[in-house]
Amino acid sequence: MTFRKIISLSVGLSFMVLLITGILSYFNEYSRITATLHTVFGILFTAGAVLHMRNNFRSIKMYSKGRIILFVSLVALMFISAGYFQVEPLGSMMDFGARSKAKAKKELNLSEYEVIEMNGQKAIELTINLLRSEHYWHPQMAVWLEDDNGNYLETLFVSKATAKGLFFGGRSKDNFKEFDEAKDAVGDFRRVNALPVWSHKRGVQYSDGMYVPTHRDDFPDAITGETITDNFNLNTSTDRTTKFRVRVELNVAFDDNEYYSEYDFPNDEVFHSGTGQLGQPSIIFETMVDMEDGKQYYLMELVGHGHQSGQTGELFTDLSTLTTAKRIVERIVVGAKKNT
C-alpha cells in the first residue's frame, strides 16, 4: 500500500511540475533550467506511469476490452495527426505562443557576444558588431555591400534559413527558430517578406516571380550562417578598397502591431497567405565606409524598412508605423581596416 502511495504522489507531483514548466516554455524564451526540470520530471512521470500500469494491469486489461479502446486510440491518433499537420485551432494556438515570445522584452546581457568567423582572407578586414535591444528575437539577417551609387556588390552574410529557402518547410510554426539546424528538410515555403531589400538588390528572380532564394540555390557556406541569437561580432572581409556602403537588414517574425496585423492590407494576398509571417517589415541599417578617410569604425544608422510582404525592394524611410521593430537593435558598428 505504501509503494502505491509513493507512486501516486510521484505521478501527481511530476504532473504539476510538467504543467508549470510547459506553460513557462509556451510563453517564454528558451530557458535551460526550465527545459531541464521539464525533462527530468517527464522521465519521473513516465516511470511512475509505467509502475502505475503494472500495479493496475488487471483493471487496464479489462478496460481494454470492447469498443472503448478503439475510441481512445482514434482520439489519440486524431490529436497526433492534428499536431503534426498543424490543423486548426492547434496552428493558431502555437502561433499565439510564438507571438507572445516575439513581443516580450528580453533580458539583456551585455557581457555575452557570439563571434562569427566568415571569409577573412580578402584585402579589407570588416567587423560587424551588433548590440541587441529588448526585442531582438531570432531575426533573419543579411549583410551586403553596395557602391556609392547604390549598386549591389556582394553579400557578406545571410541567415541560412533565408539563403536556403527553408524558413518554413517541414516544421511547425512554433519550432521554426530551431529549424536552421535541420539538414535534410526541403520546401518552397519561403519567408518572402523577411529580407526584401537585400533579395531585390541581389536581383535574382525565380520562376514564381519572387526574389527570395529556394532550397535549390547553392549558396556558398562562406556567406551563410545559423540564426544569430545574441550580441555578436561578425568577422569577414572584402576586396573593395575604396568607398562602399554597408547595409544590414533584419526581420523578426510574429511581431505584428496595429499597423501590420491580420486586419491590414486586405488586398495583399502574400501578406496573408502564409508564405510569410504576419508582422512588422524588415528594418535596414547602413553606413558609408571610405578607406581613405582615416577612420576605422563607422556607426550604422536606421534608414528605413522593407515592403510588408516583400513585393518590392523599395526602401521606405517613414518609420512611424514601426513599434517594437525599432527596438530590435541598440546599435551596430562597422570596423574596416586593411588586412596585414
Q: Would you list the DSSP string of 204-257? A: ---TTS--S--TT----GGGEEPPP-S-EEEEEEES--SEEEEEEEEE-TT---
Q: Residue 89, preceding bond cis, omega within 30 degrees? A: yes
What share of the chain has pLDDT > 70, as a percent?
79
Q: Choose between 172 and 254: higher pLDDT.
A: 254
Q: Which residues, in sequence order, are CB contacts of 307 under 8 Å at separation 6+?
A: 193, 196, 281, 313, 314, 316
pLDDT for residue 153? 96
**Sheet of strand 232-238: strand arrangement:** 114-117, 232-238, 124-132, 329-338, 297-299
Q: Which of 300, 325, 283 is nearest to 195 (CA)?
A: 283
pLDDT band at 184 (very low <50, low <70, confident <90, very high): very low
Q: Is the backbone of residue 187 left (phi > 0), alpha (psi -120 to 50) or beta?
A: left
Cell numbers given for 80: 497526433
Q: Are 289 and 139 in contact (CB under 8 A)?
A: no
29-49 b/e (C-beta count within 10 Å ≥ 16 → b)? beeeebeebbeebeebbeebe
Cell numbers given for 321: 508605423
Q: To 10 degrees, the CA torsion angle through 298, 147, 192, 229?
A: -20
The helix/strand/coil state of 72 is helix
pLDDT band at 325 (very low <50, low <70, confident <90, very high): very high
pLDDT tens string 69-121:
777 778 778 877 877 776 777 666 666 665 565 555 555 455 577 889 988 78
Q: Which of 143-157, 224-238, 248-262, 265-279 has the least mean pLDDT?
A: 265-279
Cα separation, 254 vs 281, whole angstroms = 10
Q: Choose between 318 and 206: higher pLDDT.
A: 318
pTM, two decimal places: 0.66
